[in-house]
Amino acid sequence: MTIRPIAVVGASAAGITAAEALRRAGWDGPLTLIGDEPHLPYDRPPLSKQLLHGAWEPAKLLLRTEEQLAPLGLDLRLGTRATGLDVATRTLTLDGGERLACAGVIITTGVAARTLPAADGLAGVFTLRTLDDALALRDRLSEGARRLVVVGNGVLGCEAAAVARELGHEVTLVGREPVPMAAAVGAGIGELLAEEHRARGVRLVTGEVAEFETVADGSAARVGGVRLADGSRHPADLVLLAIGSEPAVGWLADPALDTTDGLGCDAYCAAAPGIYAAGDVARWEHPGHGRPLRFEHRMNATEQAMAAARNLVAELTAEGAVATAEGAEPQERRPFAPVPYFWSDQYGLKLQAYGLTSGADEVETTVLDGEARRAVALYGRDGLAVGVLACALPPRQIRALRAVVATPVPWEEARDRVRAATATG
């Protein structure tokens, strides 16, 4: 009997983690890893930091070399795009027309960078999602002093703006919110970041892009500036669009799947029988928070990929598609209930957050040292503390803060625990 493969769609951090976890969980059948980029799986967070800065070269971003991948026995399909999935038969369609019938599928396709229609075909306008994106922008920044306008003052925009300033470029950071990263961290931490960016020479502007100004460049046109809705004009040699992302679910047309804001999954990361998802693309029911979450951060990609792989193998074992060793306890699926974590590096500052910081209805920010930008923020929802963020705090305090929101706790209790954790050191 021919054994159907498990296919992992998305050769990302979540994808390679899922493949390795499938082997550890006992899947010894065919295993296919499909990625639309031509590169071996690589790490994305350094794209806007170490790689853009020039401190790292692409080889340092690789998550695994070809030699390290060899023991997995992968059918590695790089430069290949999945274009459809029949849920009932667990059959993938690939861009060459091939149909791949699978025992199970794990979807780790991540997100795609948003852009603006006016940017299509305009030289000098960049997004920053892939390795090729980052290298293209780095090449232009290496040509000499440039006027860079970064549109979008979220995490990605702020990190790229910081790197560009460190490289000596003139930087304007444009955002809809009046302070950087406000949607993710609140106004208090956002104002602290604004102070740091201004001190480093970044010009902060609030507004929305109305149009790009262009200049002739031979037979083509390149960007020459950005005009905002309020009529203000900002000259630019280069523009980086860091205006968010969209879950990469456009290829999933089967009505059995919920593709509203990512791929909807249950608490076990299952979107349908035998179909699982992990990483930026997955929206799953978090047992601890009692609502669906989609978390676009690196740690979640790794942790969720391991959970999805374990649960898929447990499901296939129950179906009889995976043999259980004699005397071994049968595997059981387990809900995925992590403490969400994200970090951001800007200049010498490190922000680290646990739990949920966006969507809070109450935020309390305490600046411990304004000059050093040392601060802590607590985030609440419906009377419970659900997230905490540390800026420039020592590791001992950060470990204590994580424990505060490992599970949602009453707001006043969490406030007392945060004060105790940051009282010294």
Q: What is the CATH number of the domain that holds 34?
A: 3.50.50.60
90, 28: one domain: yes
213, 259: one domain: no
Mean pLDDT of 410-425: 88
Q: How many domains does the chain have?
A: 3
The answer as to whether 280 is a domain residue is: yes
What was the pLDDT predicted at 224?
95
Cα–Cα distance, 319 to 339 (Å, whole number): 31
What was the pLDDT predicted at 324?
60
pLDDT band, very low/low/confident/very high, at 407 (cuts 50, 70, 90): confident
39, 125: one domain: no
Interstrand relation of 170-175 and 147-151 (parallel, antiparallel or unpaired): parallel
Q: For 255-262, which contacts have Cβ atoms below 8 Å and span 24 or more sequence positions?
A: 256/87, 256/88, 257/85, 257/87, 261/294, 262/294
- Does the pLDDT value for residue 371 go beyond 70? yes
- Does the pLDDT value for residue 360 go beyond 80? yes
Mean pLDDT of 256-262: 97
The answer as to whether 158 is a domain residue is: yes
The answer as to whether 339 is a domain residue is: no
30, 89: one domain: yes
What was the pLDDT predicted at 399?
85
Mean pLDDT of 103-120: 96
What was the pLDDT predicted at 323?
67
Question: For 288-341, how does the pLDDT look when each residue is reduced to its tens digit (9 = 90+)?
Answer: 888 899 999 999 999 999 999 999 999 999 988 776 655 556 689 999 999 999
What was the pLDDT predicted at 390?
95
222, 205: one domain: yes
What was the pLDDT predicted at 39?
97
For residue 152, give its domain range: 115-243
Contact status, residue 359 vs residue 382, Cβ threshold 8 Å:
no
The mean of the pLDDT values for the chain is 94
82, 161: one domain: no
What was the pLDDT predicted at 205?
97
pLDDT over 70, % of the chain:
97
The answer as to whether 336 is a domain residue is: no
How many DSSP H helices and E strands does the chain contain? Answer: 9, 28
User: What is the side-by-side strand order in the sheet with 220-228?
Assistant: 209-217, 220-228, 233-235
The CATH number linked to 388 is: 3.30.390.30
Contact status, residue 147 vs residue 167, Cβ threshold 8 Å:
no
312, 223: one domain: no
238, 258: one domain: no
Tell me which of 85-89, 316-320, 387-391 is least confident. 316-320
180, 278: one domain: no
149, 293: one domain: no
What single letter denotes the amino acid at residue 398? I
What was the pLDDT predicted at 74?
97
pTM for this prediction: 0.95
170, 215: one domain: yes
What is the radius of gyration, based on Cα positions, of the chain?
A: 23
The answer as to whether 396 is a domain residue is: yes
pLDDT band, very low/low/confident/very high, at 425 (cuts 50, 70, 90): low
The answer as to whether 324 is a domain residue is: no
381, 285: one domain: no
- Choosing from 212, 243, 274, the residue where a domain stops is 243
The answer as to whether 10 is a domain residue is: yes
What single letter denotes the amino acid at residue 17? T
Cα–Cα distance, 32 to 73 (Å, whole number): 9
| Structure-model confidence comparison of residues 367 and 1, the more confident one | 367
